[in-house]
Amino acid sequence: MSLDQPITRRSALAAGAAGVGVVVLGACGSDEPAPAAKESKASTPATKAPAAAAADPIAALSDVPVGGAISAKDSDGKPIILAQPTAGQVIAFTAICTHTGCTVAPKGKDLDCPCHGSKYNAFTGAVINGPAPRPLAKVDVKVESGQVVAS
């Protein structure tokens, strides 16, 4: 369009839309430098990582009954089940029912879901009766100095 042509409604709207687009795109920018322009940390010498600290205990072995199970929380605060099928052998499973995510509770050699009646084997995590569709997920634990810890 040249300067001696009259401005039409269509050309005015098109120019306005283009201006809004520029403003909107400008707002999407960042003050952060591009990734290639950021300072590299590769030039700093590597430092040796400190030795891993002993794992925090989840429970005392003596708190887990032989032939039974207890509720506990893992290091992230998530509910788990600790079971001791035979003296000194501890196994763990997530305490979250595979049906609708309710927290199961130990009851002798079983784990009961209070929401819909699912029942699990406390020593294998297997479904005894549904509606739970899958067994409970295993959680890796071990016994160190009389304490049950994550492994």
Amino acid of residue 19: G
Closest alpha carbon to 98 in 71, 72, 70, 118: 118
pLDDT of residue 49: 41
Q: Determine the pLDDT at residue 50.
A: 43
pLDDT at 108: 87
Q: Look at residue 103 in the predicted model and tell me its pLDDT.
A: 96
Question: Mean pLDDT, consecutive 10-residue segments, the chain of 151 residues?
Answer: 57 52 45 44 43 72 95 93 95 95 94 95 95 95 93 86
Residue type (1 letter), 56: D
Q: Residue 125: in which H helix or E strand, if any?
A: none
CA count, 13 A, side-chain hemisphere, 82: 27
Query: What integer pLDDT is reported at residue 8 of this predicted model?
Result: 63
Across the chain, the runs of DSSP E, i.e. the strands, are 57-60, 68-73, 79-86, 89-94, 105-107, 110-112, 119-121, 127-129, 138-139, 141-144, 147-150
Q: What's the pLDDT score for residue 68?
A: 95
Domains of the chain: 57-150 (2.102.10.10)
Residues 6 or more apart whose CB falls under 8 angstroms from that of 94 comprise 78, 79, 80, 81, 136, 137, 139
Calpha distance 57→39 (Å, rounded): 41
For residue 55, what pLDDT is reported? Answer: 73
Residue 34 confidence (pLDDT): 46
pTM above 0.75, yes or no: no
94 — phi, psi (to 5°)? -65, 150
The count of other CB atoms within 10 Å of the CB of residue 149 is: 18
